[in-house]
Amino acid sequence: MFEAILFDMDGLFIDSEPDWHAAETQMMRSYGYDWQPADQLQCLGGPLSRVTEYMSGCLNGKIEPEALGRVIIDEMKTRLGTATSYMPGSIEFSKLVSQAQIPQALVSASPRELVDAVVSNLDQNYFKQTVAAGDIERTKPFPDPYLHAAKLLEVDISNCLIFEDSQTGITAATASGAFVVAIPHFIEVIESARLKRIESFVGLTQQDLNKWWEINQRELGR
């Protein structure tokens, strides 16, 4: 069985994309820019540094990315720390994984403050480790966050299962060498031997984990 299961956070484990959209729209409109869904799509999957650079460009560089990032972090910290919505089935699946005694980690491109706000709001925290932007030098789309999580958990990344939703995250996950399951919302995912696609966490069982593990081992020639 998988040595560990690693989850992305925003848009995968928690339903935070509406909060990000509201916070970004509110801030950009305060600077006189009409933030549109197309702008939001450009920023999907982060990391925040890329998002704020894009925003600064929309404002013709009048506001520095660092200043924009501070405003967004403060707003999102308030939103996530007071009420967190979860993606359908994510909590239930995490509980199932815990009952199977498989270590779990939350691996995000969001700042540490936001990851901690989410974790502190969990009724039951099944995550043995968390990784946030800033914990390592390079964040997603590089594989470093997932490799770091595997190191913290003391497991072989090739024996890990990663759940992701964005193109940025999927790129990082597949590059890490793990088995990847995508739950995409706004992108097309083409399946491959060690990249599968599902609609949501709802209804996932131990049998699904067993099936993916068998595929993973077969593809690795083990």
Say how far apart CA 12 and CA 149 lie, in whole Å.
17
Whether 45 has a pLDDT exceeding 80, the answer reads: no
Q: Are 196 and 181 in contact (CB under 8 A)?
A: yes
- Among 6, 31, 1, 36, smallest CA distance to 21 is for 36
Contact 160, 3 (CB under 8 A): yes
Q: What percent of the chain has pLDDT over 90?
A: 82
**Per mean pLDDT, which range of 48-57, 92-101, 144-153 is the poorest?**
48-57
Span 93-105, average pLDDT: 98
Q: Which band of pLDDT confidence, cut at 50, 70 and 90, is reported for residue 15? A: very high
pLDDT for residue 186: 82
CA atoms within 13 Å, Cβ hemisphere of 177: 11
User: Homologous superfamily of 4-15+85-219 in CATH?
Assistant: HAD superfamily/HAD-like (3.40.50.1000)
Predicted pLDDT at 123: 87
| 56 and 24 Cβ atoms separated by less than 8 Å | no
Query: HEC string of 75-102?
Result: HHHHHHHHCCCECCCHHHHHHHHHHCCC
Q: Write out pLDDT tens, residues 67-90.
A: 999 999 999 988 887 778 999 999
Please give the mean pLDDT across all residues of the chain. 94
Please state the pTM of the whole predicted model.
0.90
